[in-house]
Amino acid sequence: MRVLLTGGAGYIGSHTALVLLEAGYDVTVLDDFSNSSAESVARIEALTDRSVQTIACNLGDLREAAQALQVIDFEAAIHLAGFKAVGESVKNPSAYYRNNIVSTLNLLDILRAKNVRELVFSSSATVYGVPQTERIDESHPTGQGLTNPYGRSKAMIEQIIRDVHASWPDFKAVLLRYFNPVGAHESGRIGESPSGVPNNLMPYVAQVAAGQRESVKVFGDAYATPDGTGVRDYIHVMDLADGHLAALQHLEPGVATYNLGSGIGYSVLDVIGAYAEASGKDVPYVITEPRAGDVSRVIADPSRANQMLGWSAKRSLDDACRDSWRWQKQNPEGLQGRYTVAE
Ligand code: NAD
Ligand code: UD1
């Protein structure tokens, strides 16, 4: 069975491609390499000793994408392509809506035209807005109180997929709401290559441990959490990749939603401490003002995925720090060579 991975050269897509190849699937990666490089695909091929069909194409261009996919037979698609930097989405909303939403509309039209009925979509816990419960399950309201265009684009796409299903009852879709993906493949050959200054905590901590940056800025220490810093549900990217495989194997007509998280919350200081331990390096930090739009805690209730998909997170925060550090040490400049010191 062949699976199309849009955005398959990126951070989560590359790990998912590897897991699918190891499970015996054939993989086609469609990517415009706007935030990745062909090197990650070459590395997946080397790690798995399998070849990956690669299409360099902008999914936002319907003609180009439809033409490229016309000659390819695939039975399911995992749709990861999109822009994901929250701050950038606030500065340039139309680029975010255009890329994320138009790409999805194009893919949905192509699937319909080819009668490909299976879709797994990369959504985010961001659709829940400000958590109203200690741990968030899939029945938590979505689309309310979202503070940025990135988050809103995810909520809108979820709705679009539901509407497409309403018009096409045979369509089988899964919306995967990722919590905080971290870590890298244990080989250290593929991982996350942020461009410029990392927005997310773990890649920033990795660059501080490596001596590339002076100290971690901890965004606030007066939250209602045990140590006052923000608490998140960090999920190892290989567990996340396994979650895509499980979702693909359990597709049914309809639109199902699943949280992919560990169910465990760690604070910013927990992450810094775990990373220092895993790397054997000092990780200095300073407390700064809270970041606009941040909330105190976001933790998944992953019971539905545990029960319905037979999936659960197996790797710990320590595993993620160890694997991130191996990746950081082996690839200090990332794969695209876009690491910059200036903040
Ligand atoms: P990434 O940037 O590493 O991967 C996205 C890939 O999509 C990149 O390779 C990029 O080149 C490609 N792409 C972007 N626009 C495209 C287009 N128009 N046509 C073809 N390719 C295009 O990001 P990631 O972290 O791997 O995220 C994958 C998906 O998961 C995204 O949709 C993201 O919003 C979602 N997600 C990520 C996180 C996270 O923390 N990383 C959390 C929740 C959800
Ligand atoms: C962010 C996005 C969210 C996205 C998620 C995964 C925002 C507001 N939210 O979530 O939409 O789905 O990434 O990609 O950007 N922190 C620091 N110092 C740093 C960086 C982060 O203290 O340099 C803290 C944050 O305040 C937070 C925690 O570390 O408490 C995790 O932050 P981050 O990795 O950016 O993820 P989220 O904010 O959870």
CA of 29 to the centre of ligand 1 (A): 13
pLDDT, tens only, 255-283: 999 999 999 999 999 999 999 999 999 99
- DSSP lists the bridge partners of residue 6 as 30, 79
pLDDT, tens only, 118-149: 999 999 999 999 999 999 999 999 999 898 99
Distance of CA 149 to the CA centre of its chain: 17
* Residue 167, burial from CB neighbour count under 10 angstroms (0-12, 13-18, 19+): exposed
Where would I find the H helices in the chain?
A: 11-22, 38-48, 62-70, 86-91, 93-97, 103-114, 149-167, 201-209, 237-249, 268-279, 303-309, 317-330
Q: Where are the domains of the chain?
A: 2-181+233-261
Say if CB 219 and CB 291 are below 8 A apart.
yes
pLDDT, tens only, 25-51: 999 999 999 999 999 999 999 999 999
Say if CB 130 and CB 137 are below 8 A apart.
no
Q: Which ligand 2 atom sits closest to the C-alpha of 298?
A: 39
pLDDT at 240: 98
Q: pTM for the full model? A: 0.97
DSSP 299-325: -B--HHHHHHH-------HHHHHHHHH
How wide is the angle at C-alpha 329 spanned by C-alphas 327 and 331, nearest 5°?
65
The answer to whether the CB of 243 is under 6 A from ligand 1 is no
pLDDT at 342: 61
CB-hemisphere CA count at 13 Å for 306?
A: 11
For residue 120, the ligand closest to its alpha carbon is 1
pLDDT at 340: 61
pLDDT at 336: 72
Q: Which ligand 1 atom sits closest to the C-alpha of 200?
A: 40
pLDDT at 207: 97
CA 176/CA 80 separation, integer angstroms:
10
Percent of residues, the chain, with pLDDT higher than 90: 94
pLDDT at 157: 98
pLDDT at 337: 63
CA of 38 to the centre of ligand 2 (A): 27
What is the token pair recorded at 337? Answer: 């060579």
CA 297/CA 230 separation, integer angstroms:
6
Q: Which ligand 2 atom sits closest to the C-alpha of 181?
A: 6
pLDDT at 318: 98
The answer to whether the CB of 230 is under 6 A from ligand 1 is no
pLDDT < 50 stretches in the chain:
none
pLDDT at 196: 86
Give the dihedral of Cα atoms 152, 258, 22, 157; nearest 10 deg: -30
Question: Taking the chain, what is the end-to-end CA distance rounded to the nearest angstrom?
Answer: 45
Ligand 2: residues whose CB is within 6 Å?
A: 86, 124, 126, 151, 180, 199-201, 204, 216-219, 230, 232, 268, 291, 293-294, 298
User: Per the CATH hierarchy, to which homologous superfamily does domain 2-181+233-261 belong?
Assistant: NAD(P)-binding Rossmann-like Domain (3.40.50.720)
From the candidates 11, 25, 128, 150, give the one annotated as an active-site residue: 150
